[in-house]
Every structure is written in structure tokens, then in C-alpha cells.
A and B are shown apart, each in its own frame.
Chain A
């Protein structure tokens, strides 16, 4: 949708070169003047002005016609109804109905005002990227609550529209067909609407977490100065959601600077909760988290620790890749030059420079993942937590991710069900189940223990199982 709006925003007409502020002032003045027009003789100059402006913008006529498609029904209703019912002076008798002069005049005025205002607003909003207009609104003093809501609504509109489409498709595949409203189907449709709202709400909670982790609405960034060689120290950490049993209990561990540690365990073991506790989203109900000797305060903005989310759509909330990667550095209070340098560096490290101006929603799964990582790297974190980063990746994107993680310039804590990836990337593994650390040590040693793995809902990785060749010899992966 945003693409449609920005389709001709990068042409090079005189109007494209107007400043956003001048465009707003011009739009306001012109639409007020047009809305005030009451005389028929002013109609031709008004329409000519609007069309002239449109021609000057160099946008194709088909685009304007396309824009008129939606309100077409309004225009048709006006044109059909008003001349018959408005006024007294009969202009033309059509059997029992008569077309009235006043009605015709009024219709011409309404339709031409509508057309001219619409044309001018299409020109103004079509000749700059939508983001530029929103930034200008903010510069003009419009509340950030309104402008932030506007940007996020545009960002997620397409995605939620897709979500609704998929849910409707799933309903149709199970025989839902609504030809005539009845109470049973109304109930099912209300369930669909309710589910849409709940899923949107739950996604908004994850988006908010992602935004907060990169400094959204934070007053300042917490400084982390390395006072120890231990990157991460957890002392008897416990965490429970309010009113529920603890999902993490008695977790103590130390991760050295530069280590790559895998975190494995069945679904519900507490892996994601542990990661969220480490980066300060959850306040531990017991124990302490320290990053290079600095305690992590829950709720504060700690750029030194980053979290890469399982679902990139939750993490990429800005309108362009560039803005998403710049989000964290901007909230760290850096100047524009430093922000740009960090964005360029993070995009280079993840080989996503070519995606900078793209809309996150339109990227492939692999591209989204690497851009998510870039958005965290731009804060130059010392420790990065990865929550199932391989989820929904194809083989090529997975391989790219593994190569990146093998050379990652930071300490890594990688939660994953992809045990082969953990074997390739990590030099240490933690097995977590039921909120406890069950095993901690060399990945190949722990994952080779079939009994241990099976006892905790896991399976020995295929590459650690000896293979028999056709000639009877046994092949073991090192």
C-alpha cells in the first residue's frame, strides 16, 4: 500500500523539488480556497489549476484515474440524485421526474470542488515519500504519539491485511461460505475479527519489546564499561510470569568474552524467557544479571546487549531498512554522522547494503533475518542473544546465517532447535529443561549422549550418529 502511494515520489518535476513545508502550506491554502468556491464561473479556473498542477507533477493520468476509483460511487450517486431532487426551477422534464437547474449547478459545484481538492492532494502526497511528510508533521509540532502511531500503522497495515486474508482463506478451506448472514456464521465471523484483534494486540506487545530494547521512549542509554573478562554472569536467576509457576529457576552461569554458546532444550524449557531476562525485558524474581560486571536493570536501555527475535516481522518496525537499522543508534543520542556511520557498518557486516531503502515487509525471510541482525549490530553490542534465528529460513539463508555467526564480532548466546547449526557455530552448549540448566559443556559431548538428549525431549544430531557405508565401513563426522 505504501508502495502505491510512493510510486511516483522519486520523479523529478518542479513540484517534486518543493520543500515538504511549502507543500503543506500550499495544500492548506489551495484546499481552503477550493472548498470556499460558490460560483459557477470559478469552476473552470479551479479545475484547470488542479489539472495543470497535476500535469506539472509529471505523474501519469492513469494514476489519477486509479485514485478516483474508490470514491467513484460517491460521485455517481451525487450526479444521479442531486439534479433530480435539489431545487425548484425545472430545466428538463423526464416523465414524472424533472431535472432542476439549482440541482445541476449544485452538483457541478460539489463534483468539481471534490475533484479539484482530490487532485491537488494526490499531487502533494504523491510527489514526496510518505515518510518525508510524516517527518514534516513531527517537525511542525504534531504529537509524537500521533506520528509514531501513523508510521507504525502504515508499517503493519499490509501485514495485518495479509493476516486477515490468510485467516479468511483458512475458514473458506474448512467450508465457511457466507452468502447470507445467519447467527452461526455471524458468530464465526466475530471469532475471526476477535482473533485478528488478539493477534494484532499480541504482535504489538512483541513489537513494543523490540522497540524498547533499542531505546524507544528511553531517557538515556545505560553505559557498559568492561570491568571483567566475563561477558555474562547469572547468579541464581529465577523468573515467573505473574500468577504462574516459575519458568526459569536457579540458573547460574558465566560466559566468557568472545564465547559462542548454544542454548538447547525442548519447547517450553524456558529458553526465550531466559533470553528476555538476560536483556532486561523481564525483571528476574530472584538473582542478578551482570554484563561485563555491570548489573542489568530491568526496563532500562542497554545497547551493550542485543536480542535478535524469532520473528523478524516483530523486530523490523520502521518504514525502511535504513530507518530500522538507525533506530537504536538514534536512541543512543548519537549525532547524525555517527548514526550514518553505524548504519553503513552494520549493513556492510550483514551484506545488506543494497536493501537500505527497501520496505521491511517486502524482503525475503533470509533478508529480513540479516537486516534484523544489522539493526542490533548498529548499537555495537558486546553480547548478542539469538532466539531461534534459523526459524523459517531456506537452506541458502541458513548457510549465510551460520557463516555470519561463525565470524560474529561479539559474544553469542544462541537458542535454537537446529542442533546441527549449534554444532557448527558454538564452542559450548547449555541444555535447559523445565527452567533448569541440565548440562553445560562441549556441544559434541553433550549432544552425543543419546540418553540425556532423549530424556529432555531432544534427539542426537544426525551428524553425530555413525553412518554405515555400502562396503560395511563406518563413517563418523568429526
Chain B
């Protein structure tokens, strides 16, 4: 999910950059407090590559096909590194494939990154949400994945609605955009299911990859 160049007014683009810069700065501050902040760079880079290529997989949902966004899963696995990873991934997508754009990099990174950190937060709350319940990680992962995509869609469509120039027929646009949001509900379910299944797989195979969960599980 990317907003391309040319569509949003310059104030929104600047705000997007400011928000992304703020969150990235805070994430890097958290990372720099770790004993060796650069130690995780290869992990983040290779997983960014993996998320990047995973988002190319076509999933047939007749009559169309969808791509996974996996930003909730990025939050669950990468924690505070999710924001730098998303900035890097979106920058490469903009430069290499013209997905998104350079002016919208800030907006897109905030749109993907805030829900990703939301996914991370949900997983960090495992001591409080359904503690001890057998299917707790599956439910948390489902929520992380679904809300990751839902949050990104909500931010994207809100931005598109509020930035429509006043002289246009706002009601028709609004109807179209509401329909688009509604169309994302099944996608949220798909994204949540995949995130839950991948997290289940990881907890079985490499539990240490799921940030914050394995240590206390």
C-alpha cells in the first residue's frame, strides 16, 4: 500500500516526513541504547529483503489477487528496528520500482510504521492479554497482522479524504473511499491469518526470532 507522488499537498508531505523522522529518531535512540546497536543490522537488512520479496507473492482471492503487506509481522519480529527497516524498504521500493515515491516516503513510512509498532506493542502486552491461554500467541499475531494492515489503510484513506481539494465533489470521493476501506476488511482477515500462521511457525522453529515473546514464553 503506497501513496504515489503528485497526489498529496505539500503540507501533508512535510508532516509525513516530520512524523517519520520523529519515530525513526526515537527508534534509533532506543536501538542506540543496546550494548551493540549495529549488531542487529545484518538481521534487519536480510529480514527487510525477505519482507520485501514476500510482499511480491500473489495470493489468489477470486476475482482478484492480493499481496501481503506484513507490516504487523515486521513489528512483531523486528520491534524497534521495524521503523528503520520500513524506511529503508520504502526508499528502495521508491527508487528501484517507483512504488510510492520520494515525496511521499515520509507519509508512507508513517502509514506502515505506526501500525507496525502497534503490532509490536500488542505482542509486548502478552503478560496482560489472555495470559496463559493456549492460543494467546495466535490471537495476538492475528490482531497484530490485521491491525497492521487496517491501521495502514485507515491512515491512507483518511489522508486521501482530508486532502481532496475543496472545489471537488467531496461526497462522491468520500463514497468511493469508504468503499475502499470496506473492501480492506477481508484483506485484514487474510493478513491477520497469515501473520498468525507465520508467527506460529516461527514460535515452533525459531522462537528467538519473535521479539519479546520467547524470553518469557
B-binding residues in A (CB < 8 A) = 1, 4-5, 27, 31-32, 35-36, 67-68, 70-71, 74, 78, 81, 85-88, 100, 102-103, 106, 109-115, 117-118, 121-122, 125, 130, 143-146, 148-157, 159-161, 164, 178-181, 186-187, 189-191, 193-198, 200-205, 207-208, 211, 216-217, 317
Closest to A191 in B: B201
Asked whether, in the complex, the Cβ of A148 is within 8 Å of the Cβ of B41, the reply is yes
Cβ-defined partner of A186 (8 Å) among B13, B24, B53, B197: B197
Asked whether, in the complex, the Cβ of B98 is within 8 Å of the Cβ of A67, the reply is yes
State which residues 169-217 of B face A: CB under 8 Å: 169, 172-173, 176, 190, 193-194, 197-198, 200-202, 205-206, 209
Cβ-defined partner of A198 (8 Å) among B37, B38, B39, B202: B202
Asked whether, in the complex, the Cβ of B42 is within 8 Å of the Cβ of A207, the reply is yes
Asked whether, in the complex, the Cβ of A85 is within 8 Å of the Cβ of B98, the reply is no
Stretch of B85-93, B119-127, B150-158 with 4 or more beta carbons under 8 angstroms from chain A: B85-93
Instruction: Given A106-B168, A110-B7, A204-B47, check contact A193 B54 (CB 8 Å).
Output: yes
Cβ-defined partner of B46 (8 Å) among A4, A121, A122, A152: A152
Asked whether, in the complex, the Cβ of B39 is within 8 Å of the Cβ of A208, the reply is yes
A388 to B154, CA, bound (A): 52
Cβ-defined partner of B173 (8 Å) among A36, A70, A86, A159: A86
Residue numbers in B under 8 Å from A111 (CB-CB): 6
Asked whether, in the complex, the Cβ of A197 is within 8 Å of the Cβ of B202, the reply is yes
Q: How far is the CB of B101 from chain A (nearest CB, A)?
A: 6
Cβ-defined partner of A208 (8 Å) among B43, B49, B52, B200: B43
Asked whether, in the complex, the Cβ of A70 is within 8 Å of the Cβ of B54, the reply is no
Instruction: Given A35-B6, A148-B41, check contact A178 B60 (CB 8 Å).
Output: yes
Asked whether, in the complex, the Cβ of B194 is within 8 Å of the Cβ of A208, the reply is no
Q: How far is the CB of A280 from chain B (nearest CB, A)?
A: 15
Q: How far is the CB of B147 from chain A (nearest CB, A)?
A: 18
CB of B67 within 8 Å of the partner chain = no
Closest to A121 in B: B102
User: How would residues 76 to 112 of chain B score, 1 for a CB under 8 Å from any chain A CB and 0 otherwise?
Assistant: 0100000011011101101111110111000000000
Cβ-defined partner of B209 (8 Å) among A70, A180, A197, A203: A197
Residue numbers in B under 8 Å from A81 (CB-CB): 176
Asked whether, in the complex, the Cβ of A197 is within 8 Å of the Cβ of B88, the reply is no
CB of B128 within 8 Å of the partner chain = no
A87 to B173, CA, bound (A): 10
A201 to B49, CA, bound (A): 11
A74 to B101, CA, bound (A): 12
Residue numbers in A under 8 Å from B164 (CB-CB): 86
- The 8 A-B residue pairs with the shortest CB-CB distance in the complex, in nearest-first order: A114-B6, A194-B201, A152-B45, A190-B197, A113-B6, A204-B46, A200-B50, A86-B168
Cβ-defined partner of A153 (8 Å) among B39, B88, B101, B102: B88
Residue numbers in A under 8 Å from B202 (CB-CB): 194, 197-198
CB of B59 within 8 Å of the partner chain = yes
Closest to A194 in B: B201
A458 to B32, CA, bound (A): 49
Asked whether, in the complex, the Cβ of A71 is within 8 Å of the Cβ of B4, the reply is yes
Residue numbers in B under 8 Å from A32 (CB-CB): 10, 103
Asked whether, in the complex, the Cβ of A153 is within 8 Å of the Cβ of B201, the reply is no
Asked whether, in the complex, the Cβ of A114 is within 8 Å of the Cβ of B4, the reply is yes
CB of B139 within 8 Å of the partner chain = no
A149 to B200, CA, bound (A): 27
A146 to B102, CA, bound (A): 16
Residue numbers in B under 8 Å from A71 (CB-CB): 4, 98-99
Residue numbers in B under 8 Å from A144 (CB-CB): 38
Asked whether, in the complex, the Cβ of A102 is within 8 Å of the Cβ of B194, the reply is no
Q: How far is the CB of B7 from chain A (nearest CB, A)?
A: 5
Residue numbers in A under 8 Å from B201 (CB-CB): 190-191, 193-195
User: How would residues 51 to 74 of chain B score, 1 for a CB under 8 Å from any chain A CB and 0 otherwise?
Assistant: 011101101111000001000000
Asked whether, in the complex, the Cβ of B53 is within 8 Å of the Cβ of A157, the reply is yes
Q: How far is the CB of A137 from chain B (nearest CB, A)?
A: 10
Cβ-defined partner of A160 (8 Å) among B53, B77, B84, B172: B53
9 contacts between A and B (CB under 8 A): A35-B103, A121-B94, A146-B87, A154-B92, A186-B193, A200-B47, A204-B43, A217-B36, A317-B42
Q: How far is the CB of A119 from chain B (nearest CB, A)?
A: 10
Residue numbers in B under 8 Å from A159 (CB-CB): 49
Residue numbers in A under 8 Å from B5 (CB-CB): 31, 35, 113-114, 117-118
Closest to A162 in B: B53
Residue numbers in A under 8 Å from B56 (CB-CB): 161, 164
A103 to B173, CA, bound (A): 11
A112 to B7, CA, bound (A): 10
Closest to A111 in B: B6
CB of B161 within 8 Å of the partner chain = no
Cβ-defined partner of A201 (8 Å) among B47, B91, B92: B47
Asked whether, in the complex, the Cβ of B61 is within 8 Å of the Cβ of A149, the reply is no
A204 to B43, CA, bound (A): 5
Asked whether, in the complex, the Cβ of B10 is within 8 Å of the Cβ of A35, the reply is yes
Asked whether, in the complex, the Cβ of B101 is within 8 Å of the Cβ of A149, the reply is no
Asked whether, in the complex, the Cβ of B209 is within 8 Å of the Cβ of A198, the reply is yes
Q: How far is the CB of A106 from chain B (nearest CB, A)?
A: 6
Residue numbers in A under 8 Å from B46 (CB-CB): 152-153, 156, 160, 200-201, 203-204, 207
